[in-house]
Structure 1
Amino acid sequence: MGDGPKDPHLRKAVETAAKQGKVISAVCHGPAGLVSAELDGKPFVRGKKVTSFSNSEEESVGKEAVVPFLLEDKLLELGAKYEKGKDWSPFVVQDGKLVTGQNPQSSAPLAEKVVSTLEES
């Protein structure tokens, strides 16, 4: 959450992968690494269905004042179509080759979705 959004190497990696049509995935706070990426001069996540650690989950662990921003809010601000499931339950969203998971409980189903997406490619 602190370094990923500002890391120029991560930004370039996401932008390059997106331009090459590769699978991009992130879980929990990982989608923070997507917020600085752009595609055709617009936020990479704009108009895409995504999920991440939700505001309510952040608040339930008392970290909303510690993180640099609430990830759910940031994704919405960038024009993403944010979706969320029940707090602390597995929830995965796919939009083309972008696969995101809401929380740590989403790791296994996210990995399964990534594998099936790679198999379809």
Structure 2
Amino acid sequence: MKNLVKTTALLTFLFFVGIVANAQNTSFKINKQKRVLLIMSSYDDMGISGKQTGTWFQELAAPYYILTEAGYEVVFASPDGGETPIDWLSMKAPFTTDYTDKFLNDPVAMYAAKRTRKLRNIDYNTFDAIFVPGGYGLLNDLASDQYLIKLIRDFYESDRSIAMVCHAPAILRDVKLTNGKYLVEGVDLTGFKDAEDAEIELDRHLLFSLEQELKRRGANYKSVKNWAPNVVVSGPLMTGQSPASAAPLAEALRDRLKK
């Protein structure tokens, strides 16, 4: 009789242990949400030209909705933290889109965009991917930000996704792998082309040419006609040519994170 009682007690104990373990595993799966760090420029000045710049709005709004609606957490960051500049031209027709209109009328999105996290205060090892929207401002801060350059190297070498659109691939210019080789050497990629800068007469105001610098580093730079969507994927590196590439690039990142 005593043995029966002990056996019953043991089985009851194991049954409840199984329930707790199963609950913990379920909770872990529910809480293991993929995280994307969306990094914006804090710079809004194109030097002596007097032109205002910043992040191109579509390249912020499209990935925000495409990724959050897929169930991923998106965290906004910038070198200085706080509110970041948006290129004023991208907030006007014909450059606005359904995504930008939705963003402007979304109090949660606007709140997050006005309170970006300071990039250097973030432990980027807790993120599964980064997305860097374009705009001319980043040529002045993100392209030479040593913390971001190290972040990109670490993401690339750990096979974590790096999505960059428009002028953002310019940040790759000085990224070296731990073996001393330039990350872009022999890698297929794209980004805003010289002909597109020239078409809007801003080429003479730039610190450097994205297209020429990446080619100089050995990249296999690939482009299509001006302003057309163009996404190039090379392992964890995913690049888009122009503002029209922001949505398809975000969709490609969304799909890669599902794997």
With structure 1 as the length reference, what TM-score do the two structures score? 0.95
**CA displacement, residues 40-77 of structure 1 (integer Å, 9 cap, x when unaligned):** 20111111100000010010011111111110111100
Task: Tell me which of 107, 111, 114 is aligned to 2:246.
Answer: 107
Say which SS state the counterpart of residue 24 (structure 1) adopts: strand
For residue 21 of structure 1, report the CA deviation from its aligned partner. 1.0
Indicate if the aligned counterparts of 2:143 and 2:173 stay in contact, CA closer than 8 A: yes
Instruction: Give the equivalent residue in structure 1 for 2:98.
Output: none
The match for 1:35 among 170, 173, 180 is 173
Aligned equivalent of 1:11: 149
SS at match of 1:105: helix
Work out the CA distance in 1 between the residues paired with 2:186 and 2:162: 16
Structure 2 partner of 1:79: 218
Please provide the CA RMSD for this pair: 0.9
Q: Among residues 225, 230, 236, which one is paired with 1:97 in the alignment?
A: 236
Query: Residue 67 in 1 paired to residue 206 in 2?
Result: yes
Q: Which has the larger radius of gyration?
A: 2
Normalization by structure 2: what TM-score?
0.45
Q: In 2, Cα distance between the equivalents of 1:10 and 1:32? A: 12
One-letter amino acid matched to 1:84: S
Question: Shift of the alpha carbon at 1:6?
Answer: 1.1
Contact 2:159–2:235, Cα closer than 8 Å, also in 1 = no
Equivalent position amino acid for 1:103 in 2 = S
More RCO (CA 8 Å, sep 6+): 1
Whether 2:245 is the aligned partner of 1:118: answer no
> Does structure 2 retain, via aligned residues, the 8 Å contact 1:50–1:93?
yes
For 1:46, give the aligned amino acid.
E
- Kindly state the Cα deviation for residue 5 of structure 1 after the two structures are TM-superposed: 1.9
Query: Could you tell me which of 156, 163, 168 is aligned with 1:25?
Result: 163
Instruction: Say which SS state the counterpart of residue 203 (structure 2) adopts.
Output: coil
Tell me the secondary structure at the aligned position of residue 42 of structure 1.
coil
SS in 1 for 2:150: helix
Partner SS, residue 10 of structure 1: helix
Partner of 1:48: 187
Q: Is the 8 A contact 1:4 1:10 kept in 2?
A: yes
Q: Number of paired residues? A: 120
Report the AA paired with residue 162 of structure 2: I
| Structure 2: gaps (5+ residues) | 1-138
**2 CA distance for matches of 1:27 and 1:7?**
17
**What is the CA distance between 1:112 and its match in structure 2?**
0.7
